[in-house]
Amino acid sequence: AMMLQERWERAGGLASRLSKREHRPEDRGPSRRHQATMAAMMLQETVKKYFRGFQHRKFHESKALGCKMSLGVYLPGAYETESKIPVLYYLSGLTCTDENASQKSGIQQYADEKGIAVVFPDTSPRGLNVPGESDSWDFGVGAGFYLNATMPKWKKWRMYDYITEELPSYLQTTFPNLDTTNASLTGHSMGGHGALTIFFKNHQKYKSVSAFSPICNPVNCPWGKKAFTGYLGVNEAAWKSYDATELAKAYDGPNTKVFIDQGADDDFLKSGQLLPENFEKAVEGKSNIELKLKMREGYDHSYFYIATFAEDHVNFHAKYLKP
């Protein structure tokens, strides 16, 4: 009986010590090791089979932005058997990362059918710890506006250089069967603004441009005024150099067709953030710009809308990328 009592007491003491260990304050919630593991997983490169091709998530060090950048790259099934695969850049909107459109737009299905690669860049530098960089959802992190900032505080916000120079070079080195000289641009909201402005400033580099719900005239909308003031200061001439409507007015390049897609029930359209009517007016009478403006009744600003009409945009670009 004494031996049983001693065993019982030893077992009770062990259970008590284990119980105390399990409830130490530092062990509450996810452990540090678990948190570190989760953070490392978020930075892992991945490859997922998707339709006949593969969706890649890649990371690379950007000299232009001074940080590690993530991006998605969809390689169609044709990449395995063909060289010189054309590229469609999809530029995302405010608050987005490289993963939003790659997971929600459904554009890869149609790109795969046409043998076109789709590249999904991130929307800003990350991890630079600039004071105030995450204070608002429409400026700073996730809101790079595809420009080169001139204000010293935001000197690393150089998404224009990243998209037009550094990214194509990285893609050509990493995926040698891509032909980055045969490329087109599309995008959504802030990314639609980016697609249009980059195209008009570099029409010799890109074959075609389209946009879902783009910010067409940022010098005249709240989003644009806030971003341009923060990144470019009060120099309104600099503002106009990143405004699709202003660039279209001044465009003297070869004949081109611009496809703008807009949900008619988009709250941002109604609140004056997008202003496609200003872009439409700017190109009236211009013989070198043909505008295809599609107003989609009943559709809003969401990925449900984008996924519904993604095929139309791929088909539009395929005419120029694979004539």
Closest CA to 166 of 209, 210, 119, 126: 119
Please give the Cα distance from 298 to 256 (Å, whole number): 29
Please give the Cα distance from 80 to 69 (Å, whole number): 26
Can 241 be counted among the known catalytic residues? no
Catalytic residue among 189, 208, 210, 241: 189
Catalytic residue among 184, 266, 313, 317: 266
Cα 186 to Cα 21, 195, 313: the distances in Å are: 55, 5, 8
Sign of the four-CA dihedral 167, 227, 148, 155: negative
**291's tokens:** 């505008």
CB 280 within 8 A of CB 162: no
Closest CA to 70 of 43, 48, 89: 43
Can 301 be counted among the known catalytic residues? yes
Catalytic residue among 56, 193, 203, 301: 301
Residue entry with tokens 């990285």: 170
Q: Which residues of 100-127 are buried (b: 16+ CB within 10 A; e: fewer)?
A: bbbeebebbbbbbbbbbbbbbbbbbbbe
Residue 220: count other Cβ atoms within 10 Å of its Cβ: 16
Cα 70 to Cα 93, 119, 167, 205: the distances in Å are: 15, 11, 11, 23
Cα 234 to Cα 151, 227, 240, 261: the distances in Å are: 10, 11, 11, 31
Q: Which residues are catalytic?
A: 189, 266, 301
